[in-house]
Structure 1
């Protein structure tokens, strides 16, 4: 029996999945941040922890893994790969490959060997592959280098909107009540002083409150989410233009919690409008499986093997990653 291992290392969590050649899931593992750009030592430890948990559950050794595929946030440039190659080599898999997490999300979301992917989770990133195999990445390097959005930005936008509404620079917003309740403060003044005096950082979970407020008609929250959608649309356009895919039929895969689990159409419609403007035959699809499934498929395909279509459909059922 042959076994394949896939890893999805993101900014908040790392997932590992092992399947056999018949497509049966035999091992799972999870841990925290897997992005070396955020914290190298933590990412190294978390990737190892996730992998070892999956191997232990499967009762397998590294030598029994036919191929291991690592889709890692932060695997953006050659300088990143110089850091990641020895890190992953230390795990001891005889045959493995490292790629950016955008590629496993794209593979999990489309049956075509080409397309575009927009990731908006903790951070944001976009990339695409043309039918000729040309790759282009747009973003993924934080706000300073042109990005906007992802939970790391949106939680700050929610927090600062409350401050701005309090001091009069912004319209009153439902976010004030939601944020104060979530953080446990009785007033904005109390929150302001505590965060400023102790150099606190807003937690990522505040990003979810934007959807709650927007769903209830809050214009401040809706405007922030609108900007997120517009920016993702701009990224999609940039990738499509660079790869000269305007006239092609392909999928634009949306991945990451902000675009897969957010309520309402506060972000998606602006992405669809942007994509429709430049590539009318393209289809915007929301990823409905965990990206780690794409890593497993790429591990299988890296060996030249192919899982039966029924098995592909079976693995598409991994919509939520549970260790059970």
Structure 2
């Protein structure tokens, strides 16, 4: 229990129930804009290996940003702690009922990042609880493959990343390193380029663009000079990325600069997926093997005709919960064969 003010559940000790239905699993999807946690009953491994339809979700909770690179470690930790506590509370469960927690969190880019988050949550759950930490792209992939890790996923929101898994377990990623390190296909990247275009047009380095009036009106500012103070007063990624609709509107109205920004973003996103596909050889030696891509991109299908585009039927937080369930099933099967 941390401070006793967030985790206020009865601690009934360690309940080591089996994997045939007792207890719950938590799935967390943590991004630069919002964080979602779902609580699901531990699903039985059916003889037909099929999941229930619809999937039973006991509770869902939503909070703010949990990317420590964006808001700092303390704020990120508080968000994760709060959202898991709320989901458990809404479900009528307690910490001892949890069998596994799978967190997909943006900003998890290395084993060091994983260990940091694992250390955060180890103190609040009983020792029997299995803990898994991934980048949020892994949870997004699982939301399209129902908990199985194979294929490629593209996340294009406040940030952007492509992440993939080969059938032999190898994994690869492209982008996802944040706006400073070139995530130009992200919402932040698009909006930052739009703000730059406005300043360039204002000082004579660039051509005039409809983005100037559109962005100034959206922000309630009277001059491009005021953009400098607005931008650096709070340079959080989500705040900047919120200007993307203005870029889209200007592009639809025929603005050349806005259209170029969006075209470049799409090309960057396509490059991300292509890089992952090639590194993992997902298309096979002949380039014709089928593989799932969670998100449809026409550029990708042109390059890889056998790609199987998937529109997720569940949200990434549910994908994370299904990952936790699959991990438990595999561990249980392994123990049975010992």
Is the shorter-chain TM-score for this pair beyond 0.5, marking a shared fold?
yes
Match in the other structure for 1:205: 242
Q: What is the CA–CA distance in structure 2 between the aligned matches of 1:213 and 1:285, rounded to whole Å?
A: 30
Structure 1 pair 157/66, CA: closer, same or farther in 2 (3 Å)? Answer: same
TM-score, length basis structure 2: 0.78
Structure 1 pair 48/110, CA: closer, same or farther in 2 (3 Å)? Answer: same
Structure 1 pair 287/173, CA: closer, same or farther in 2 (3 Å)? Answer: farther
Contact 2:179 2:188 in 1 (8 A): no
Match in the other structure for 1:91: 124
Structure 1 pair 272/52, CA: closer, same or farther in 2 (3 Å)? Answer: same
Contact 2:32 2:65 in 1 (8 A): yes
Q: What is the CA–CA distance in structure 2 between the aligned matches of 1:237 and 1:60, rounded to whole Å?
A: 43
Secondary structure of the structure 2 residue equivalent to 1:7: strand
Contact 1:125 1:140 in 2 (8 A): yes
For 1:239-318, list aligned pairs within 5 A.
239-246=276-283, 247=287, 248-254=289-295, 271-277=297-303, 279-287=304-312, 289-304=314-329
For 1:227-242, list aligned pairs within 5 A.
227-242=264-279
Match in the other structure for 1:24: 56
Match in the other structure for 2:203: 167
Structure 1 pair 221/193, CA: closer, same or farther in 2 (3 Å)? Answer: closer
Match in the other structure for 1:11: 32
Count how many residue pairs are aligned between Structure 1 and Structure 2: 287
RMSD (CA atoms): 2.2
Structure 1 pair 9/199, CA: closer, same or farther in 2 (3 Å)? Answer: closer
Task: Note if 1:102 corresponds to 2:102.
Answer: no
Match in the other structure for 1:46: 79
Q: What is the CA–CA distance in structure 1 between the aligned matches of 2:265 and 2:123, rounded to whole Å?
A: 38
Structure 1 pair 216/169, CA: closer, same or farther in 2 (3 Å)? Answer: same
Q: How far is 1:148 from its partner?
A: 2.0
Structure 1 pair 102/193, CA: closer, same or farther in 2 (3 Å)? Answer: closer
Task: Note if 1:134 corresponds to 2:170.
Answer: yes
Contact 1:139 1:146 in 2 (8 A): yes
Q: What is the CA–CA distance in structure 1 between the aligned matches of 2:101 and 2:67, rounded to whole Å?
A: 18
What do residues 255-288 of structure 1 show as CA deviations (whole Å, max 9, x unaligned)?
A: xxxxxxxxxxxxx7xx4224522x2201344446
TM-score, length basis structure 1: 0.81
For 1:121-200, list aligned pairs within 5 A.
121-189=157-225, 191-192=226-227, 194-195=229-230
Runs of 4+ in 1 over 6 A off after TM superposition: none
Secondary structure of the structure 2 residue equivalent to 1:50: helix
